Amino acid sequence: MLLVTGGAGFIGSNIVAALNDAGRADVVVCDELGHEGKWRNLAKRQLADIVPPRKLPDWLNGRRLEAIVHMGAISETTATDGDLVIEVNFRLSLRLLDWCTATATPFIYASSAATYGDGAQGFADDQTLPALKALRPMNLYGWSKHLFDMALAERAGRGEKLPPQWAGLKFFNVFGPNEYHKGTMMSVLARRFDDVKAGRVVELFKSHHDGIADGEQRRDFIYVDDAVRVVMWLLSAPSVSGIFNVGTGKARSFRDLMLAAYAALGSFPNIRYVDMPPSIRDSYQYFTQGDVGRLQHAGYNGGFTALEEAVGQYVKGYLDRADRYR
């Protein structure tokens, strides 16, 4: 039996789908389904149980699991409730780490590229404590993830007991099916697709940095299928532990992303550039690009889907259909 926390969420539900597709019906999801239609992310899946987060400690008591895949978190980069974010993203992760250590259960968890802050220290996934301490996340979400990375790295550096496998995944800009409940945290592609389809103008942010053109802010966009393949590989490679970047290793612009959507539909681009809200200008990342060398050196050879191909798969397979769910 495997537990996927955040299993009704975006990446989590895609992991559940991959496990089902691999013949696993013994998957337990821990999540809050709420009222935003998150249940639809699991509507085509077979599950052994769904556990509310508040009941997870009792559910885990005395239980044996094959692995915990910990994707559950408050993932809004604009979150401001520090106490809640630390409780959910940091302290719960520590409790799960302790449980996995005590029960010798593999533990795979979601970190984030938000831990890199403005990228001034680069995007190399050096898991040593001095390298991690040099990073300066720019928002509460990134800081909460960074705290846990450092806590785990410190234990590893001291040679303390840890789960037989532990892996933190610094996800870059993941996009794909089942992200629709995320509101403003959806990818720009998902948020703007109906406008693209209808021929309405699509607004992208102007640049407020010299030398960077409007719409040329760049991100390491990675299709969710690629991110999930990394998780599935780790589950099949129990000797691999560490903190790894999960991106494509190639930054592309928001303009590239939207032009790929227009191309997938065979329609003419209609893009307008608007001022970035002052409230986010000081914390806005203009460039992210994950160095995936450590992941590949660890044995991962699954490759990554090119942006245009990934957008085409997403648009034709999901966004441009009546049923957009995996």
16 closest CA partner among 69, 65, 73: 69
Q: Show the domain range for 32.
A: 2-176+221-249+288-304
Residue 67 lies in a domain: yes
Q: What is the pLDDT of residue 155?
A: 97
Q: What is the pLDDT of residue 75?
A: 85
DSSP, residue by residue, 228-272: HHHHHHHHT-TT--EEEEES-S--EEHHHHHHHHHHHHT----EE
Q: What is the pLDDT of residue 175?
A: 98
Distance between CA atoms of 125 and 172, rounded to whole angstroms? 12
Chain centroid offset of residue 288 CA: 14
Q: What is the pLDDT of residue 316?
A: 98
Residue 212 lies in a domain: no
Q: What is the pLDDT of residue 190?
A: 97
Residue 206 lies in a domain: no
What does the pLDDT profile of the chain (326 residues) look like in tens digits? 999 999 999 999 999 999 999 999 999 999 999 887 899 999 999 999 999 999 999 999 999 999 999 999 988 888 889 999 999 999 999 999 999 999 999 999 999 999 999 888 999 999 999 999 999 998 999 999 999 999 999 999 999 999 999 999 999 999 999 999 998 899 999 999 999 999 999 999 999 988 899 999 999 999 999 999 999 999 999 999 999 999 999 999 999 999 999 999 999 999 999 999 888 887 788 899 999 999 999 999 999 999 999 999 999 999 999 999 99
> What's the CATH code of the domain at 144?
3.40.50.720
Residues annotated as catalytic (active site), given as ranges = 141, 182
Domain count, the chain: 1
The SS3 call for residue 220 is: coil
